[in-house]
């Protein structure tokens, strides 16, 4: 049994248990992929996949083996990258969810370049669930997310507090600071971030804790799309406060409160529990933990 066997097994799992697709992804033949899986099963004396019709279905033993294979493959990849680039300045792969990526990450990266000008930062800004998957696939060294991690193999650390604001059109009968009852709130038309985003997860968790769920009439990954929809009176939205300050200061929207609902949240640092954090990574994370930003900045949100 070799590292190659483990990587082939992981490739089959990543291809949704399709050996033909896995072979294409890894520039192999399909019989070679199937033989590698058979070798593993014979070596360990277990069944990794049930063969049901023309499809594979991973077994409990296969699920357990996958966790080991991912960790071992990721550590090997880290070693390869570290040793092959020992004499170079290095690369840091950083993920951030939408709000953090647009509002905070540019400042973090700028401060990091001042501290370590020779290290390049490669950034991925995406919803929290995609970042978590990238962490598991070892495509990111760490990520900064608005939600929480759902995978037991991921280490999570709180590093900053934030809050969401309920916004409504200034021309639809709402006034700044108005307070609604829960029943009044439930009757609104909701414009929300997409499922999988940290902002949506915070909203859904707060409403669930209050005993109800919301079905939005509009979902979007773009904060600007949601703010513009609110300005035009289509409904109300719940978004990061820093992302709506421009429209708020221009008098296009107002913020309102709801009895019994709290949209305070915390930002988190996540990385794989087995991930070796280089000195550069530790420097970057230290900047994140200590970085100071005026709550009113930045105001340039119209293109988000």
Kindly report the backbone phi and psi dihedral angles of residue 128, in degrees, each rounded to the nearest multiple of 5, phi listed first. Answer: -60, -40
How many CB atoms are located within 10 Å of the residue 109 CB? 17
Percent of the chain beyond pLDDT 70? 93
Per-residue confidence (pLDDT) for residue 85, from 0 to 100: 62
Per-residue confidence (pLDDT) for residue 24, from 0 to 100: 94
Per-residue confidence (pLDDT) for residue 87, from 0 to 100: 45
Asked whether residue 46 is assigned to any structural domain, the reply reads: yes
Name which of 170, 163, 173 is nearest 248 in CA terms.
Answer: 170
Average the pLDDT over 164-173 and give the result: 92
Residue-wise pLDDT for 105-148, tens only, equals 999 999 999 998 888 999 999 988 899 999 998 899 999 998 78
Please enumerate in sequence order all residues whose Cβ is within 8 A of that of 125, keeping only pairs 6 or more positions apart, or say none.
95, 96, 97, 98, 101, 102, 105
Domain of 240 in residue numbering reads as 162-264
Per-residue confidence (pLDDT) for residue 297, from 0 to 100: 43
Ordered DSSP codes for 171-225: TTT--TT-EE-HHHHHTS-EEEEPTTSHHHHHHHHHHHHTT-----SEEES-HHH
Asked whether residue 108 is assigned to any structural domain, the reply reads: yes
**154 and 279 fall within a common domain:** yes
Residue-wise pLDDT for 14-63, tens only, equals 999 999 999 999 999 999 999 999 999 999 999 999 988 778 999 999 99
**What is the rounded CA–CA span in Å between residue 259 and residue 289?**
32
Reported as a pLDDT band with limits 50, 70 and 90, residue 293 is low
Could you tell me whether strands 190-193 and 218-220 are parallel, antiparallel, or unpaired per DSSP bridges?
parallel
Single residue among 50, 84, 118 that ends a domain in this structure: 84
CB 66 within 8 A of CB 136: no
Asked whether residue 302 is assigned to any structural domain, the reply reads: no
**270 and 257 fall within a common domain:** no
Reported as a pLDDT band with limits 50, 70 and 90, residue 301 is very low
284 CB-contact burial (10 Å; exposed 0-12 / middle 13-18 / buried 19+): buried
Hey, which residues does 56 pair with through a beta bridge? 51
Residue-wise pLDDT for 66-105, tens only, equals 999 998 988 888 787 777 665 445 789 999 998 899 889 9
Asked whether residue 284 is assigned to any structural domain, the reply reads: yes
**What is the rounded CA–CA span in Å between residue 114 and residue 56?**
50
**What is the rounded CA–CA span in Å between residue 203 and residue 146?**
11
Name which of 262, 261, 258 is nearest 179 in CA terms.
Answer: 258
**What is the rounded CA–CA span in Å between residue 81 and residue 293?**
34
CATH at residue 25: 1.10.10.10
Q: Which residue has the higher pLDDT, 138 or 270?
A: 270
What is the average pLDDT score of the chain?
A: 88
Per-residue confidence (pLDDT) for residue 304, from 0 to 100: 40
Tokens 């996949």 correspond to 49
Per-residue confidence (pLDDT) for residue 299, from 0 to 100: 45
Asked whether residue 32 is assigned to any structural domain, the reply reads: yes
**Residues, the chain, total?**
304
Single residue among 51, 84, 117 that ends a domain in this structure: 84
How many CB atoms are located within 10 Å of the residue 246 CB? 18
- Check whether 295 has a pLDDT greater than 70: no
**What is the rounded CA–CA span in Å between residue 143 and residue 198?**
13
- How many distinct structural domains can be found in the chain? 3
- Check whether 6 has a pLDDT greater than 60: yes
Hey, which residues does 22 pair with through a beta bridge? none
Per-residue confidence (pLDDT) for residue 84, from 0 to 100: 67
- Alpha-carbon Rg of the chain, whole angstroms? 23
**182 and 235 fall within a common domain:** yes
Single residue among 84, 100, 127 that ends a domain in this structure: 84
Per-residue confidence (pLDDT) for residue 77, from 0 to 100: 84
């Amino acid at each position: 049994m070799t590292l190659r066997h483990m990587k082939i097994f992981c490739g089959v799992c990543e291809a949704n248990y399709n050996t033909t697709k896995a072979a294409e992804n890894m520039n192999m033949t399909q019989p070679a992929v199937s033989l590698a899986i058979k070798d593993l099963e014979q070596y360990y004396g277990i069944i990794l996949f049930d063969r049901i019709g023309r499809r594979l279905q991973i077994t409990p033993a296969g699920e357990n083996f996958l966790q080991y294979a991912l960790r071992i493959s990721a550590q090997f990849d880290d070693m390869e990258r570290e040793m092959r680039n020992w004499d170079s300045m290095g690369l840091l792969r950083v993920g951030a969810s939408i709000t953090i990526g647009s509002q905070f990450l540019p400042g973090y990266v700028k401060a990091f370049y001042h501290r370590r000008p020779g290290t390049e930062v490669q950034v991925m800004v995406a919803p929290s669930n995609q970042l978590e998957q990238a962490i598991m696939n070892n495509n990111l060294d760490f990520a900064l997310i608005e939600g929480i991690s759902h995978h037991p193999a991921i280490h999570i650390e709180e590093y900053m507090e934030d809050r969401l604001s309920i916004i409504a059109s200034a021309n639809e009968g709402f006034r700044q600071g108005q307070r609604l009852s829960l029943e009044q709130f439930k009757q609104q038309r909701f414009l929300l971030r997409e499922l999988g985003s940290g902002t949506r997860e915070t909203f859904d968790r707060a409403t669930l804790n209050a005993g109800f769920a919301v079905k939005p009439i509009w979902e979007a990954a773009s904060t600007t799309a949601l703010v513009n929809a609110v300005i035009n009176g289509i409904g109300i939205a719940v978004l990061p406060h820093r992302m709506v300050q421009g429209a708020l200061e221009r008098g296009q929207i107002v913020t309102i409160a709801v009895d019994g609902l709290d949209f305070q949240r915390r930002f988190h640092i996540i990385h794989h529990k087995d991930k070796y954090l280089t000195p550069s990574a530790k420097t970057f994370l230290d900047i994140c933990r200590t970085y100071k930003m005026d709550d009113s900045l930045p105001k340039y949100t119209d293109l988000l």
